[in-house]
Structure 1
Amino acid sequence: MLFTEGQKLFNKYMITHGMSEETIKGYLKDLRLFNHYMTDVYNTAIYVEDVTADDVEEYMYYLLDERELAPRSRNRYLFSLRSFLNYAVKKRWVEFNAATEVDPVKVMDEKKVALTQEEIEELLSAIEHPIIRFAVALLSFTGLRVKEARTLILSDIDFEQNRLLANGKGKKQRYIPIAQSFKPYLEEYIAEIRESNDSPYLLATKKTGKLSAIYINNELHRAVKELGWDKNVTCHALRRSFATNLLRKGVNVFAISKLLGHASIKTTTVYLQLNENELQEAVNKL
């Protein structure tokens, strides 16, 4: 089976099994790079069954030496290849997955950022652009993924039931209650700030009809620099802040998991970030 033909069939498999558009796009991008690398090395089209563990090892070194990718990025490429070759084993194109013989790169633990409610208020006050300021509030008070926030349309907001409808990964939908503390932001934004009347999106602009994630992250970086914080605050950090602040207030982890749209509690625990003082207070309750 030609590697390129295998990619096409793997693409259909992922679509059929309800994987998100972004996940599929990421896998295919990673596999195209591996195919390009192998084609250059052997100067010919490659077959799935020709891929060896040595090839994968050399590829990982190529990602380090020539592409200069960080450990997490190199591991992502490895895991994408593993997933594809797992599919190849199921289809009996190959007898075993050569990528499983290659160990992932060791990644040093990074300090995850979770802002307190007070820090979120500081951050909002430092953001000048009114639409982005609302977008940051939306992410902080709902725990939405940035893509979920960007694709939120006006009809997804139900003021009578006090909730909004999020369209999550794999076309899974969930309702998120609107916090009373966030409701004034939402009502003011829709009535006075939202720019485009033609766009169905909540985060609408006159120029494009919707707000980009890059624009939000750039403004976050500018505001953090202005505040003098030594923190890497991103859209994803705001989602983690939402989860952690709920935990700080004693909300059950199962409820937090449901609000985040996680299929597993284990995934939710990765988001939670408590500092040493909070952990000390926890054990002092014994």
Structure 2
Amino acid sequence: MVDLIERFLRKERIKKSERTTQHRKSNLTQFEQWLQEESHGDLTQVTSFDIEDHLLSLSESGRAPKTVRGRYDALCRFYGVLSDDPRFEEIDEDPTEDFDASELKNIMSGTKKAEALKQDIFYVTPEQKELLTENVPNPKLRNALICRLLWQTGIRQGELTEIKLSDINRDERSIRIRAEKTYSNRMVYYQSSLDFLMNQWIDGGYRSSHITASDSPYLFLTYKAPSIKKNYVNDIVKDAARKAGIQETMYKDASGNSRHKITSHALRHGFAVQSLKNRMDIRTLSSVLGHSNLETTKKYLRLNDDDVRDAVRKFGAGTESVESETR
């Protein structure tokens, strides 16, 4: 496997001092070692829950708050740089985006345990999905198709960029996905409501109007490139959310970059949450999402429980208005 830490550090040395670079190397190397010891996979398979568990393990082992903060900052920088740079194709998601930085103080002070610490998972609701597709930037048909496809299949943005025309079976409405995380292929399926956009993009002259189309095997391309880049997919979603008035800046990371609530990954979360609401079983959902560990999928069950709780509080027995008379 390519040494991602060394590739990252070579890029960092251009802008950062040697002392800062060595400090980040130490933090990242120790994190990688922890992943191996805890059987969490490698650096390309990290989730926000892995980051949370690691920071908690540091705090509970007596590490100083400054050490915990330094580890968090190094991880934010590492995954932020690699996920935004199309040259680092091994990292297609930034797991620090889904980590609730407001909990970092609680972790460092040791006031919460792992089982009690719950982070927010931001997901796109059906209503927000419609607002997104109505406000996508140009070219609108392509970008509306991208948003709806992410919502209906739950695929990662990096997986979307790898879809080839030969991967699509429009009769079965199926797409073969080359999973970067698990190094295995899987099938995902879209609904008939997507037929019009899909057919118009492929057969209606929209895709072929791009000068790169004749030489490209990929479903999605741009006017300048034969395939769309994963960071560009995320920009489309964030721009649409901003225009729709539903975007929020949650916090700024250690590098000063804004972390937004609505991203392409929030569409993936939306697919998962809505599928559970529609009674899809957890194992099927895990397979469709391409998760190698069922525990990763189970995080969505909590969100479903939250919806049940809110519905009971709003509509459950005892919430009705009753007029009483004092006699």
Shorter chain as denominator, the TM-score bin is: 0.5 to 0.7
Q: Secondary structure at the match of 1:164?
A: strand
Matched, 1:155 2:163: no
Cα distance in 2 between the residues matched to 1:77 and 1:132? 39
- Shift in alpha-carbon separation, 1:170–1:262, aligned structure 2, 3 A: closer
* Partner secondary structure for residue 296 of structure 2: helix
TM-align CA RMSD: 3.9
For residue 222 of structure 1, report the CA deviation from its aligned partner.
Answer: 2.2
2:144 maps to which residue?
133
Q: 2:309 maps to what in 1?
A: 279
Call closer, same or farther: CA 1:30–1:86 in 2, change over 3 Å.
farther
- Structure 1's 85 and 163: CA in aligned 2 closer, same or farther, altered over 3 A? closer
Paired amino acid for 1:269? K
Q: Does 1:113 align with 2:143?
A: no
Q: Does residue 176 in structure 1 map to residue 188 in structure 2? A: yes
- Structure 1 stretches of 5 or more lacking a match? 1-14, 16-23, 42-57, 68-73, 88-98
TM-score by length of 1: 0.64
The alignment partner of 2:192 has SS state of coil
How far apart, in 1, do the equivalents of 2:299 and 2:21 lie? Answer: 29
Structure 1 position 148, deviation (Å): 0.8
AA aligned to 2:186 is R
The one-letter code of the counterpart of 2:292 is A
Structure number with the higher helix fraction is 1
For structure 2, list consecutive stretches of 5 or more residues without a partner in the other structure.
40-56, 70-100, 104-117, 249-260, 318-327
Structure 1 residues 1-286: aligned runs within 5 Å:
15=1, 24=2, 26-29=4-7, 40=18, 62=23, 78-83=30-35, 105=68, 108=103, 110-129=119-138, 130=140, 131-168=142-179, 169-192=181-204, 193-194=206-207, 195=210, 196-231=213-248, 232-271=261-300, 273-274=303-304, 276-281=306-311
* Alpha-carbon distance between aligned partners in 1 of 2:286 and 2:245, rounded to the nearest angstrom: 32
- How big is the shift at 1:59? 8.6
How much does 1:201 deviate? 0.5
Work out the percentage of aligned pairs sharing the same amino acid: 23
Q: TM-score, normalised by structure 2?
A: 0.57
Give the secondary structure class of the aligned counterpart of 1:258.
helix
Contact 1:75/1:105 (<8 A) preserved: no
The 1:241–1:134 alpha-carbon spacing in structure 2 relative to 1, beyond 3 Å, is same
Structure 1 pair 277/246, CA: closer, same or farther in 2 (3 Å)?
closer
Mapped contact 2:182–2:292 kept (Cα < 8 A): no
Give the CA deviation at 1:282: 7.0
- Closer, same or farther in 2 for the Cα pair 1:76/1:176, shift >3 Å? farther
Q: Provide the C-alpha distance between the structure 1 equivalents of 2:9 and 2:123, rounded to a whole number of angstroms.
A: 33
Q: Distance in 1 between the 2:27 and 2:184 partners?
A: 27
Letter in 1 for 2:311: E
What is the Cα deviation at residue 180 of structure 1?
2.1
- Note if contact 1:30-1:77 (Cα within 8 Å) is conserved in structure 2: no
The amino acid that maps onto 2:276 is: L
